[in-house]
Amino acid sequence: MTHQNNNSTANKVWFITGASRGFGRVWAEAALKRGDKVAATARSLTSIIDLKEKYGANVLTLALDVTKPDQVKTVVAQAHAHFGRLDIVLNNAGYSLVGTIEEASADDVRTLYETNIFGTLSVIQAVLPLLRQQGGGHILGVSSGLGHVTMPVIGYYCSSKWAFEAIHESLAGEIKDFGIKVTIIEPGAYATEFGSQESLKFAAGLDIYADFKTQFVDRLKGLERGDPQATPQALFQVVDAKNPPLRFNLGSQNLEWVRAAYAERLATWEAWQEVSASAQGEPK
């Protein structure tokens, strides 16, 4: 399969959240190395200040807490004014909540959603008027293979990614006529800092789940993880494509996993179809 590319693949302007570590950091550096310009944002400015030293005028480093909508608006406007446009808006900020459905408090879940969902929404809503005004752009949202399947113990994180997927799919239909593209990036397991203490929060534990969670964590440790440094060229193919995909699996593992999950769902729906259809009643 060949991918059509835009005539100009380089010299794009990126706006990246969560640029201090993980994919956000890897992709910010890779974009700068290929000659693109980047507005790199992170909660702590000191965590990204070295980018300024390395890449000079091609990078704008800004402190941004995506859970503060007013700050999001100010920073997005600042980045747009500085570079004159934003071609790619990459929502990467997020973290995972570790805890069973019973263990996590409502406050734990709200805080997770404040970053993973409402933070993303604040960025999208801030950039849309600017992208419309400039006649186009590309919104990238970093989801996960867990936007289609779930795991125990991180169910609330999975739920945030299911919501993330639905929001971006609806968004894609709503803004297509403005020339704005949407792609959901769905990484599998990678050896990023996502498993670090900064990217994980833990719900207060109940003893009855202790063994189950230990076994789960041991299984996770045994997962084969991809190399984050191997990802930029694939990402560039997506952002340089004339018709980028709405969903893009990052890595080799997701397709088999997702295919099995959907096959199982279809089999269940089909097995129960007679009962399901019986609930339709007569047409009104």
pLDDT in tens, 271-280: 999 999 999 9
The mean pLDDT value of the chain amounts to: 93
Question: What's the pLDDT score for residue 270?
Answer: 98
pLDDT band of 6, cuts 50, 70, 90? very low
Which one of the listed residues 55, 113, 156, 157 is annotated catalytic? 157
Distance CA 264, CA 96 (A): 26
Question: What's the pLDDT score for residue 1?
Answer: 47
Question: What's the pLDDT score for residue 245?
Answer: 98
> What's the whole-number mean pLDDT along residues 176-184?
98
pLDDT in tens, 130-143: 999 999 999 999 99
> What's the whole-number mean pLDDT along residues 80-87?
98
Question: What's the pLDDT score for residue 264?
Answer: 98
Question: What's the pLDDT score for residue 7?
Answer: 41
Question: What's the pLDDT score for residue 35?
Answer: 97
154, 98 contact by CB (below 8 A): yes
pLDDT in tens, 234-262: 999 999 999 999 999 999 989 999 999 99
Amino acid making up residue 211:
D
Cβ neighbours around 243 below 10 Å, total? 7
- Specify the 3-state DSSP secondary structure of 184: strand
Question: What's the pLDDT score for residue 223?
Answer: 81
pLDDT band of 5, cuts 50, 70, 90? very low
Lowest mean pLDDT, pick from 60-64, 94-98, 118-122:
94-98
pLDDT band of 15, cuts 50, 70, 90? very high
Does 113 qualify as catalytic in the annotation? no
Percent of the chain with pLDDT strictly greater than 70: 94
Class in CATH terms, 13-275: alpha beta
Distance CA 62, CA 44 (A): 9
pLDDT band of 220, cuts 50, 70, 90? confident
Reply yes or no on whether the pLDDT at 10 is more than 70: no
Which one of the listed residues 37, 161, 181, 213 is annotated catalytic? 161
Complete DSSP assignment for 40-53: EEES-GGGTHHHHH
19, 28 contact by CB (below 8 A): yes
pLDDT band of 2, cuts 50, 70, 90? very low
Distance set, CA 229 to CA 142, 194, 211, 225, 233 (Å)? 16, 14, 35, 12, 9
Does 157 qualify as catalytic in the annotation? yes
pLDDT band of 193, cuts 50, 70, 90? low
Which one of the listed residues 20, 122, 143, 159 is annotated catalytic? 143
CA dihedral 151, 159, 166, 258 (to 10 degrees): 0
pLDDT band of 144, cuts 50, 70, 90? very high
Reply yes or no on whether the pLDDT at 194 is more than 70: no
Secondary structure (H, E, C), 105-138: CHHHHHHHHHHHHHHHHHHHHHHHHHHHHHCCEE
Does 161 qualify as catalytic in the annotation? yes
